[in-house]
């Protein structure tokens, strides 16, 4: 894409899109241009439609992949090419809503006990104990840990939002153990190979896969599944949905309510109308 690619990167930077999102959008736009072997500036609505159909029919791309391409092309045509009419004509795909995998408390305990190194155990416990996203965990700095107030300051979260989450007493003990063992030299609490760079998210993902295998867990385990488990366990423990929304950094309560669909206790506490037939509780039913 040449100059167009550089301009798109600049437009993304001016709007403070995350580096990962920038790379994904530019990659989608580049593949779109390569498909037609012509500049996107010379293509239009029907070309976009044809490319998306190519992804669905020939590449058998998932709805999530098509959605990412739609977002990238909408950005390209709205901002970089200043052709909003093309972007407006691109339909958003319907993405199937699936229920997240949730670990039981016993499974989480077994998983954490199976993490080999003190560093990865500390990051895994931070992920489950606070519900942070994996990138938020990796970017934590030592100064973000407020042991006196029992809080962790999450800076520049999703959509650039700051927030506070709790600092569990058990996690604080592990973090102190980790600090005595590692003594990170740079600003990051969990530094990568270079002390001035954060730990790579893939490092934690790999450690969790290995720990899950060691613990004999059949369920797929990722940092995000620990985040899902954190939210579900809070809900089952009686925490209000609004509080969970704030802790997770969700922009909308609708995102948080998904956990009511996977909470076994919430479903189990719901009384079926079959059980009230013939009783006083059935009077409102007529």
Same domain, 137 and 244: yes
Question: Between β-strands 163-166 and 151-154, what pairing exists: parallel, antiparallel or unpaired?
Answer: antiparallel
Same domain, 65 and 118: no
- Per the annotation, the verdict on 228 as an active-site residue is no
- Check if the beta carbon of residue 181 is closer than 8 Å to that of residue 122: no
Between 4 and 270, residue with greater pLDDT: 4
Least confident of 126-130, 206-210, 232-236, 268-272: 268-272
Enumerate the β-bridge partners of residue 191. 198
Res 111 pLDDT > 70: yes
Res 8 pLDDT > 90: yes
Res 273 pLDDT > 70: no
- Per the annotation, the verdict on 227 as an active-site residue is yes
Share of the chain above pLDDT 90, in %: 73
Task: Kindly compute the dihedral angle of the four CA atoms of residues 48, 73, 80, 12, in this order, to the nearest 10 degrees.
Answer: -170
- Check if the beta carbon of residue 211 is closer than 8 Å to that of residue 221: yes
Same domain, 120 and 257: yes
Domain that holds residue 70: 3-88
Structure tokens at 150: 């029992």
Split into its structural domains, the chain has a count of: 2
- Check if the beta carbon of residue 228 is closer than 8 Å to that of residue 102: yes
Residue 187 lies in a domain: yes
Q: Looking at residue 156, which CATH number applies to its domain?
A: 1.10.443.10
Residue where one domain finishes, among candidates 57, 88, 119: 88
- Per the annotation, the verdict on 49 as an active-site residue is no
Please pick, among 133, 139, 228, 233, the residue that the annotation labels catalytic.
133
Residue 99 lies in a domain: no
Please pick, among 7, 163, 224, 266, the residue that the annotation labels catalytic.
224
pLDDT at 286: 56
- Check if the beta carbon of residue 231 is closer than 8 Å to that of residue 256: yes
Please pick, among 18, 67, 155, 250, the residue that the annotation labels catalytic.
250
- Tell me the pLDDT band of 94, cut-offs 50, 70 and 90: confident
Q: Looking at residue 78, which CATH number applies to its domain?
A: 1.10.150.130
Res 271 pLDDT > 70: no
Same domain, 164 and 238: yes
Residue 213 lies in a domain: yes
Same domain, 127 and 245: yes
Same domain, 79 and 126: no
Residue 275 lies in a domain: no
Please pick, among 139, 227, 228, 233, the residue that the annotation labels catalytic.
227
Same domain, 18 and 131: no
Distance CA 246, CA 149 (A): 18
pLDDT at 284: 65
Same domain, 68 and 126: no
Same domain, 152 and 229: yes
Full-model pTM:
0.76
Same domain, 132 and 209: yes
Q: What does the DSSP assignment read for 243-262?
A: HHHHHHT-SSHHHHGGGGGT
Please pick, among 18, 35, 158, 214, the residue that the annotation labels catalytic.
158
Same domain, 41 and 121: no
- Per the annotation, the verdict on 250 as an active-site residue is yes
pLDDT at 99: 79
Same domain, 120 and 228: yes
- Tell me the pLDDT band of 285, cut-offs 50, 70 and 90: low
- Tell me the pLDDT band of 264, cut-offs 50, 70 and 90: low
Residue ranges of E strands in the chain: 145-146, 151-154, 163-166
- Check if the beta carbon of residue 51 is closer than 8 Å to that of residue 35: yes
Residue 119 lies in a domain: yes
């Amino acid at each position: 894409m040449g100059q167009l690619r550089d301009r798109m990167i600049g437009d993304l930077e001016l709007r403070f899109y995350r580096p990962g999102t920038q790379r994904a959008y530019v990659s989608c736009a580049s593949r779109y241009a390569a498909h037609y072997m012509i500049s996107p500036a010379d293509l239009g609505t029907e070309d976009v439609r044809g490319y998306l159909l190519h992804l669905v029919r020939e590449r058998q791309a998932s709805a999530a992949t098509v959605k990412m391409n739609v977002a990238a092309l909408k950005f390209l045509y709205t901002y970089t090419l200043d052709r909003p009419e093309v972007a407006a004509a691109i339909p958003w795909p319907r993405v199937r809503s699936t229920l997240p995998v949730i670990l039981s408390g016993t499974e989480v305990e077994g998983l954490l006990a199976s993490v080999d190194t003190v560093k990865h155990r500390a990051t895994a416990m931070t992920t489950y104990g606070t519900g942070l996203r994996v990138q938020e965990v990796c970017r934590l700095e030592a100064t973000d840990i407020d042991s006196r107030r029992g809080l962790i300051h999450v800076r520049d979260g999703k959509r650039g939002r700051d927030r506070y989450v709790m600092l569990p007493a058990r996690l604080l003990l592990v973090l102190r153990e980790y600090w005595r063992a590692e003594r990170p030299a740079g600003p990051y609490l969990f530094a990568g190979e270079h002390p001035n760079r954060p730990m790579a998210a893939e490092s934690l993902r790999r450690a969790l896969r290995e720990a899950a295998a060691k613990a004999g867990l059949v369920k797929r385990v990722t940092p995000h599944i620990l985040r899902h488990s954190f939210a579900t366990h809070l809900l089952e423990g009686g925490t209000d949905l609004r509080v969970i929304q704030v802790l997770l950094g969700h922009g909308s309560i609708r995102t948080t309510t998904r956990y009511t669909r996977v909470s076994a206790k919430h479903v189990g506490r719901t009384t079926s109308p079959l059980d009230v037939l013939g009783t006083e509780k059935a009077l409102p039913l007529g």
